[in-house]
Amino acid sequence: MIHTLALLCALVVPSLALATAQIPDVLLIDGKEHALNTNPLDAHLQAKGWTPPKEGLISSANWRGYVARWAVADGQLLLKDVTIMVEAKDEEMARKSILADLFPGKTQIVADWYTGALIVPDGKMIHYVHMGYGSTYDHYQVLRVSSGRVIEQLSMSGEEFKQYRARKFEAFKQTDEFKKAYAELKRDSQSLSEEQMLGFMASFFAERYLAL
């Protein structure tokens, strides 16, 4: 994880102007669709050593190679579908489900591999950033998840979310995990300023420290 962080930081930070806003996963809460600014499936796919199928089309707006559809039901985070983009005969591109390939024989998939925070912007966009999930909104929901179970669901204004995130990051900075990651990042990315490194870590580890 730490070496991945150093590599991503070295690649991404010097070229922020070239980065692209990402297509988010979708989360259903009480039957309403929301964009999801975190990717709960990534940890599972990384553990499996998954790579996108050869037929899958990768774009700068979706570097992870898939879009997942989620739902919160009975206090659990459920994976409903995973799709990739493929070439189609009658149109340029089409979505293809790969859920059965990833989870053969399963009809209900609880995300029991996932512990972290789901960041759901459910308000009006107030500042667009053409990079990752960098845009900001005037309202958010944050769902804290432990082994697939939703243990807390928060609703807050954009300013409250900003303050909440800052407090959580300050607490995270006191942990051994942060100190080890920061030391290795500083060693491997000497061209970056402290502000750049802290900013990148605040984004990279957001799912983790918001769940603390």
Tokens found for residue 9 = 């930081």
Give, in order, the Cα–Cα distances in Å from 21 to each of 60, 63, 125, 142, 167. Answer: 8, 10, 14, 20, 26
Q: CA 83 to CA 79: how far, in whole Å? A: 12
Query: Which residues in the chain come in under a pLDDT of 50?
Result: 2-4, 6-18
The answer to whether the CB of 123 falls within 8 A of the CB of 139 is yes
Cα–Cα distance, 212 to 208 (Å, whole number) = 7
What is the longest distance spanned by two Cα atoms in the chain?
A: 55
Expressed as residue numbers, the domain containing 60 is: 2-209
- Residue 156 has what pLDDT? 97
Supply the pLDDT for residue 212. 87
- Express each pLDDT in 131-176 by its tens digit: 667 789 999 999 999 999 999 999 999 999 999 999 999 999 999 9
Can you read off the two tokens belonging to residue 71?
């739902």
Number of domains the chain is built from: 1
pLDDT in the model for residue 203? 84
Dihedral, 48, 51, 57, 58 alpha carbons, nearest 10: 100
Which pLDDT score is estimated for 132? 67
CB atoms within 10 A of CB 98: 20
